[in-house]
């Protein structure tokens, strides 16, 4: 066998069907779409349409709600942090905060900071500076000889609004 003898198995590669290319092709005129109407047109999605009757997804009652004031925390388990410490990807000296955990690749997202959770084994003596910690996580860190400092994280949007507010107040005072 030579390299120039290599071929695909018969039928392994099928060419694209060219529709709407005349009556002799067998797929001319309607192009395999049947007759006329909405479904014969391109870009039409009639999924869930029930002929004008109220669709099932609209007949079923709504449940729950989306809380616009909910905090968005990046949740990190102590077991993950222990693995990073063991692998040498997370420094044990100094305090560990959102930036350090983000750089290590465990705190994804979380615009309102990091919340520690107590899942997994933890034995490293570390001090944390986070937005929140569960009771089990706090207990595990303190049992290992570390400490947890809970801080209040102010989102960037609130910082900007506060900054604008102070400058306007200062401008009003200057005018008066």
Task: Determine the pLDDT at residue 76.
Answer: 93
| Domain-wise residue ranges, the chain | 74-154
Q: Which residues of the chain have pLDDT under 70?
A: 155-157, 159, 165-176
Q: Please give the Cα distance from 148 to 107 (Å, whole number).
A: 17
Q: 3.30.499.10, 3.100.10.10, 3.40.640.10, 1.10.3720.10: which CATH number matches 74-154?
A: 3.100.10.10
How many other CB atoms sit within 10 Å of the CB of residue 33?
15
Task: Determine the pLDDT at residue 60.
Answer: 95
Task: Determine the pLDDT at residue 61.
Answer: 96
Which CA distances in Å does 32 have to 21, 26, 38?
11, 9, 14
Task: Determine the pLDDT at residue 42.
Answer: 83
Task: Determine the pLDDT at residue 12.
Answer: 94
């Amino acid at each position: 066998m030579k390299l120039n003898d290599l071929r695909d198995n018969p039928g392994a590669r099928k060419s694209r069907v060219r529709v709407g290319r005349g009556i002799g092709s067998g797929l001319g005129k309607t192009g395999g779409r049947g007759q006329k109407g909405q479904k014969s047109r391109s870009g039409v999605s009639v999924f869930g349409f029930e002929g004008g009757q109220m669709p099932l997804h609209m007949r079923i009652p709504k449940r729950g709600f989306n809380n616009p004031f909910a905090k968005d925390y990046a949740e990190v388990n102590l077991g993950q942090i222990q693995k990073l410490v063991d692998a040498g990807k997370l420094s044990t000296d100094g305090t560990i905060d959102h930036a350090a955990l983000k750089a290590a690749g465990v705190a994804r997202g979380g615009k309102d900071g990091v919340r520690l959770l107590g899942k997994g084994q933890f034995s490293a003596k570390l001090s944390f500076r986070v937005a929140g910690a569960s009771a089990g996580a706090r207990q595990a860190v303190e049992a290992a000889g570390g400490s947890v400092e809970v801080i209040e994280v102010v989102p960037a949007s609130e910082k900007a609004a506060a900054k604008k507010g102070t400058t306007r107040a200062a401008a009003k005072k200057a005018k008066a």
